[in-house]
A and B are shown apart, each in its own frame.
Chain A
């Protein structure tokens, strides 16, 4: 994990965050906080504002109003120091297809400013992941979708951030790979990482997430804790559709 001193502040905190594109409000006054060692799911139909919210937390775009805090520190496009705290797994951060997995991870390690010895150790660690070990010298354009997604997660975790953001991490993957990625995410959460993921898969949200937030038309409309509420996938589905498809 990142060696920054643990703070009592929430891992992620959003205070009245809004984001407007032109005249279209993508996110309207969203406030929520997320703790470490938990997996939080962000549900919502297409265009609800999930990805925009993730980008603001990652510091890729600034909110039009409101504040995003990571461990009590203000996130923004220009806050390079907070990049050590956050890892992002998203199609919006693509790879160069011509590079090998090793080259992708090395580039990331150098850009993250990891010292040479740490870099070697982390690369070996990424190689310790059986799935990645066998493909370190393969080019990105030779990998399957599942393998590519694993490399995305490995890249985002290379600098051992305390916050991991995932934008639809299991979309388009077969059940076996999906389950394996769930196991990886649970293991990361156990190690204290705060995980925030967007998903369209209600079963995934119910099984994996400790907290679920539902976004609709840019607003946070409902929050659940499926495990403590004893909520099944069917109940979550029913609640979800009552929100996004009102009678």
Chain B
């Protein structure tokens, strides 16, 4: 009972401290919204009228069909009399790619990509394949070209992107709000005031991680609500699993940075380590490069990172294309508990920022 009272009070104090820094709180919320909105726009390749695609089709009827199909993607279509002209225009940067259908035996359908930006080329080839397939199908009823899934709506793409962005927003908020509180308390020796009391360390760890979770959840919730005024993405049909996955991620992220802060104990050291870790975790989580196309050693590395499970479960629950895997939930809980245990152990290592020699000396004595 005493332990519960202590941990609840510690959580309350933590939230009070945060509430009394309204400027920091406002900046944190503002940046979270900006992150979700801007990253969503920049992260996704939007094919709009500003994207010009060259089209060279000798047969008039096919040209009309293909123009309709390509414009349905939202892009502008620029007709060219010959593929040579189109390729020159592409080299000049007037168009991003060229679709050419040259009559002959056999009739050749070519897709010329500029090759300047590989990500753009990949996206264009994937999107144009569907448009071309529909046009060819309309032209030759005996031919059927199908690509699955048949189409991706802009909402689906945004939802897919948001799933990874939310995971990283949670990670970043836990880094700045929870981890930095811990490391400040180590560096400024606030923890000494706690450790001079007979209160159990468990109250400190559970109380403050709970406060960090409430804080992170509140910020993420507010950021999502505000972000949806600017960017539309579908909310999951099933709220409960979504909230469950987010809660596990928030717990895991807060514990993760608690462990890092307690191991570093110095603000500069913590910032160096944690900032770098966030970047690495982002790249190996599968949110930038799909895990399916990673090299075997990268895939193995991804399996040992917490964000891999976070991104995968968030995508599953938000897109609804596959069920949330039980192993992802277990992995997130496992990471959270392991990190809490590391941080808890650090609290017992002594109160003053211990030098390596002091720690060694303690061990030998």
B88 to chain A, nearest CB (A): 66
1/0 per residue B341-363: CB within 8 Å of A? 00000001011100101100110
1/0 per residue A181-195: CB within 8 Å of B? 000000000000000
Q: Total contacts A to B, CB within 8 angstroms?
A: 91
Q: A22-B358, A62-B362, A92-B189 are in contact. Are A113 and B198 (CB under 8 A)?
A: yes
In the complex, whether A108 has a CB less than 8 A from a CB of chain B is: yes
A61 touches B350 (CB 8 A): yes
Q: A95-B193, A111-B6, A113-B199 are in contact. Are A65 and B350 (CB under 8 A)?
A: no
CA distance A67 to B17 in the complex (A): 39
1/0 per residue B1-35: CB within 8 Å of A? 01001100110010011001100000000000000
B198 touches A84 (CB 8 A): yes
A60 touches B192 (CB 8 A): yes
B297 to chain A, nearest CB (A): 39
In the complex, whether B194 has a CB less than 8 A from a CB of chain A is: yes
A113 touches B2 (CB 8 A): yes
In chain B, what residue has the closest Cβ to A81? B198
**Which listed residue, A61, A83, A99, touches B17 by the CB 8 Å rule?**
A99
CA distance A116 to B21 in the complex (A): 29
CA distance A92 to B350 in the complex (A): 14
In the complex, whether B188 has a CB less than 8 A from a CB of chain A is: yes
Residues in chain A near residue B21, CB distance under 8 A: 98
B35 to chain A, nearest CB (A): 26
In the complex, whether B365 has a CB less than 8 A from a CB of chain A is: yes
Residues in chain B near residue A20, CB distance under 8 A: 361
B157 to chain A, nearest CB (A): 43
B355 touches A21 (CB 8 A): yes
1/0 per residue B130-154: CB within 8 Å of A? 0000000000000000000000000
In the complex, whether B190 has a CB less than 8 A from a CB of chain A is: yes
B193 touches A103 (CB 8 A): no
Residues in chain B near residue A65, CB distance under 8 A: 365
CA distance A92 to B353 in the complex (A): 12
CA distance A108 to B9 in the complex (A): 10
CA distance A204 to B303 in the complex (A): 64
**Which listed residue, B10, B20, B193, touches A94 by the CB 8 Å rule?**
B193
B189 touches A94 (CB 8 A): yes
Residues in chain B near residue A223, CB distance under 8 A: none
A111 touches B362 (CB 8 A): no
Residues in chain B near residue A98, CB distance under 8 A: 16-17, 20-21
In the complex, whether B195 has a CB less than 8 A from a CB of chain A is: yes
B280 to chain A, nearest CB (A): 33
CA distance A99 to B9 in the complex (A): 13
B198 touches A103 (CB 8 A): no
- Cβ < 8 Å to B, chain A residues 99-141: 99, 103, 106-108, 110-113
Residues in chain B near residue A60, CB distance under 8 A: 192, 195-196, 350-352
In chain A, what residue has the closest Cβ to B184? A96
In the complex, whether B197 has a CB less than 8 A from a CB of chain A is: yes
A83 touches B361 (CB 8 A): no
A61 touches B351 (CB 8 A): yes
B71 to chain A, nearest CB (A): 58
Known: A59-B196, A60-B192. 20 other contacts (CB 8 A): A21-B355, A22-B355, A22-B358, A60-B196, A60-B350, A61-B350, A77-B195, A78-B348, A80-B199, A88-B196, A93-B189, A94-B188, A94-B193, A98-B17, A98-B21, A99-B17, A107-B10, A111-B10, A111-B199, A113-B199
8 shortest interchain CB distances as A-B pairs: A22-B357, A111-B197, A83-B198, A98-B20, A111-B199, A80-B198, A93-B193, A110-B9
